[in-house]
Structure 1
Amino acid sequence: MNEAEFEAKLRADGFTEIETQTLEPRPAKGEHGHPFEIRGLVLAGTFIVTQENHQTIYKPGQVFAVAQGHPHDESIGPDGARVLVGRKFVNA
């Protein structure tokens, strides 16, 4: 899936905040949650998400997702990462 297709899919699925982020390498931030659902497409580098004590390494072309409020941690691989992310806000 290319960037345009992914962005169109995000919009169709109700994601309203969509942006491309360039991230420097960094260790985990610490477990946290967000007041929104997040879905992202890795464009370059490595993006690592840990949920429920399970670490998943995402590489270019792979999609990650974290549910609204779900505890997770994230880190960026040694070469950094570039990701196209969408945020979907749902009233609780």
Structure 2
Amino acid sequence: MPSMNLPSFDQFKQQALAAGFDEVIERDWPPHTVLDTHTHPFAVHAILTRGEMWLTLNGQTQHLLLGSVFELERDVPHDERYGAEGATYWVARRN
């Protein structure tokens, strides 16, 4: 089970900026949102802070819950699906 001891947004942001990410934001997704296969022109490092999501990458689906961390390199095809409560995560982007 993921630890419920989450950093604060400011702590997450400072760590991400120190690690070379140049943008840190909060993303909030409504219930049952589905994003079919797409890519991003930036790398991401994120932590789920509310709800649940399923991330499909290279044919493998991960079920992410509170405190789960995920990373994606830029231009990697992936799908996203969000649960009945929607989801929120903090995401650091390396543009």
**TM-score if structure 2 supplies the norm length?**
0.84
Write the letter of the residue equivalent to 1:22: D
Unpaired runs of 5+ in structure 1? none
Moved more, 54-63 or 2-11: 2-11
Conserved? CA contact 2:33–2:86, under 8 Å: no
Give, in whole Å, the separation in 1 of the partners of 2:70 and 2:53.
9
The corresponding residue for 1:44 is 50
The corresponding residue for 1:7 is 13
Task: Report the structure, 1 or 2, having the larger strand content.
Answer: 2
1:56 aligns with 2:75: no
Displacement over 3 Å in runs of 4+:
none
Pairwise CA distance, 1:28: 2.7
Within 5 Å, give how 1:1-92 maps onto structure 2: 1-3=6-8, 4-89=10-95
Secondary structure of 1:86's aligned partner: strand
State the aligned residue count.
Answer: 89
Percent of residue pairs bearing the same amino acid type: 27
**TM-score if structure 1 supplies the norm length?**
0.86
Unpaired runs of 5+ in structure 2? 1-5
Conserved? CA contact 2:50–2:66, under 8 Å: yes
Pairwise CA distance, 1:38: 1.1
- 1:36-84 per-residue CA deviation (whole Å, 9 max, x = no partner) reads 0011111110022100110101111111111101111111111111111
Give, in whole Å, the separation in 2 of the partners of 1:82 and 1:19.
11
Moved more, 69-78 or 24-33: 24-33
Give the alignment's Cα RMSD to 1 decimal.
Answer: 1.4
